[in-house]
Each structure stands twice: as C-alpha cells, then as structure tokens.
Amino acid sequence: MQSSFSTSTLKFIIGWTAVFLFRLIPFRPPNFEPMLATVMPFSKRYGPVGSFLFGFLGIVLHDAVTSGWGSWTWVTAVCYGLLGLAAHYFFKNREASVKNFLLFGIPGTIVYDAITMFIGPVFGHQSVAVALVGQIPFTLMHLLGTITFSILLSPALYRWVINNKSHELSFARIFVRV
C-alpha cells in the first residue's frame, strides 16, 4: 500500500512551483498571489497535516530562496499553515467548487491579513494606526487576487493536479521494477 506522502510529493512540488513562479513575475501587483487559492484544493485531499504543511512549507521554501528567513516568514508560514488546516475542515464535507473556494477564500484572506497586519507593529516598531491604514489597500489587492485565483486556479488545480492519477508518484515504482 502506498502512503499519501509518497503519492503526493509530485503534486506538492507542482503546487509550490506554481505559486513560486507566479510570485516571481516582475511588476505583478503587490499582494496579488495564489497561495491561498493553491492551499484550498490541496486541503480537500491531504488531511490536516498535509494541509498545514502545504501552506507552511510553501512560505518557508519561498522565503528561503527569495528574501531569506525573518520574523515575517514564521508568522506568515504559521498563518498559511493554519489556513490550510481550516480549509481541510471546511472542505471535508463540501465539494471543491468555485462557490466554496470563494466562501472560504474571502474570509480566510481577511482573517489572514488582520493577523499579519501586526507584523509591522510587533517586529518593526510601526504604529498600529499606520499599519491599519496601509493594510486597507493591501487587503483589497489580496482579496482581488484571492477572488481571481479562486475562480480560475483553484478548480483547475483540483481537477488537473489533485485528482489526476498520472501525477501520483510512488517511490517504490521508481526504485523497484515490478
């Protein structure tokens, strides 16, 4: 019997790569990124641990390659991990539909931005008032990205990656010829 880890490895790499490559596009609008929209379809299939790890490691790996690790890494990684965990329970008995991606994604983005807004005041000695005023356009752009990617990317990932058996990788098949 194959473990879900061995069969999900390639799918996780595809998901992380999609997010990573999109976030590297030059001149893209700030905070217009597909992380949550990618976490949601994965959370439908990979259980609480896999859902948490997809979000958490997606941020940790991205920061390791781009900006380096800092306090923001751990706050955002834990938040995306917890969003993955919450998405798992939200989607556990719901279908992976555009409607449900939006029903989870919009409030999830608002909660995420409300929490991560405090990175500046806590770690950067920024006033809460300045953080709040700056957070408004930041969150609007984040919501625009979440809505766009929940409509376009989440269903496509679910259909073409998560439910696609050809992307399942068994380490036993790689190392042992049957």
pLDDT digits (tens, 9 = 90+) for 12-42: 888 888 889 888 888 888 888 899 999 999 9
* Residue 9 pLDDT exceeds 90: no
Asked if the structure places residue 176 within a domain, the reply is: no
pLDDT in the model for residue 168: 60
Give the integer Cα–Cα distance in Å for 27 and 91: 33
Check residues 10 and 7 and name the one with the higher pLDDT. 10
pLDDT in the model for residue 107: 98
Asked if the structure places residue 178 within a domain, the reply is: no
Contact 61, 20 (CB under 8 A): yes
CATH number at residue 159: 1.10.1760.20
Contact 118, 74 (CB under 8 A): no
Q: What residue numbers bound the domain in which 36 lies? A: 4-19+32-165
Q: Which two tokens stand for residue 143?
A: 């919501």
pLDDT in the model for residue 112: 96
* Residue 1 pLDDT exceeds 60: no
The tens digit of pLDDT for each residue in 54-113 reads 999 999 999 999 888 988 899 999 999 999 999 999 999 999 999 999 999 999 999 999
* Residue 2 pLDDT exceeds 50: no
pLDDT in the model for residue 167: 59
Asked if the structure places residue 131 within a domain, the reply is: yes
* Structural domains of the chain, count: 1
Asked if the structure places residue 155 within a domain, the reply is: yes
pLDDT in the model for residue 166: 64
Residue 80, number of CB atoms within 10 A of its CB: 25
Asked if the structure places residue 148 within a domain, the reply is: yes
* Residue 127 pLDDT exceeds 50: yes
Check residues 120 and 171 and name the one with the higher pLDDT. 120
